[in-house]
A and B are shown apart, each in its own frame.
Chain A
Amino acid sequence: TQLLEQSPQFLSIQEGENLTVYCNSSSVFSSLQWYRQEPGEGPVLLVTVVTGGEVKKLKRLTFQFGDARKDSSLHITAAQPGDTGLYLCAGEGGRGSNYKLTFGKGTLLTVNP
């Protein structure tokens, strides 16, 4: 069974601060996705990382996939209240199960004005 551990589980920071969320596994994933979920809504895909060592930037968000494709991080620079939400990482299974996403438990981020 593939598992994804996310840390921290909760994070409360002030506007303007930087933060990093981690997603770790003992399993190798063919790709890893990051989602953001707001209360009462479904998750929305932010980014997919595929290649070991890959770094993707989305405005103030930087996503990195570990060299061994077992871990990933999300770094937010100068957080804003609009960044508040539940951040979920999800690993995509390998050949034969490329449809199957394994989700971490999420990091609930609160950015205070």
Chain B
Amino acid sequence: GAGVSQSPSNKVTEKGKDVELRCDPISGHTALYWYRQRLGQGLEFLIYFQGNSAPDKSGLPSDRFSAERTGESVSTLTIQRTQQEDSAVYLCASSFISNQPQHFGDGTRLSIL
């Protein structure tokens, strides 16, 4: 596709379950980013990938959060043992290289019951 694609668009799960969120960046974009947007808040940086490496994981809130990227393409963000405070929209963005404009997907709205 032409843009950044995220799936699922919505996810409802019970507290304590693990979830996987997927991001397909724009083809050819080497840089990929994950953000979290809580209700009424701005975007909170989580992690940055350059190729398949993550030189900056400083925004991951706890060790329950992890992310990987393969083939310099698809990325997955995994949240283990979900908590209610994890409820948010998780946004993925990609850019051609790191200092170029970021293009965002439409996000995954995660709700923890």
Contacts and interface: CB of A to CB of B under 8 A. Distances in A.
B43 A103 contact: yes
Contacts, number: 55
A77 interface: no
A106 B39 CA distance: 11
Contacts of B106: 40-42
B40 A101 contact: no
Interface in B27-61: 31, 33, 35, 40-45, 48, 50, 56
Interface in A73-103: 88, 90, 92, 97-103
Minimum-distance CB pairs A-B, first 8: A42-B104, A103-B42, A99-B98, A103-B43, A98-B99, A105-B42, A41-B106, A42-B106
Interface of A: 4, 6, 33, 40-45, 48, 88, 90, 92, 97-106
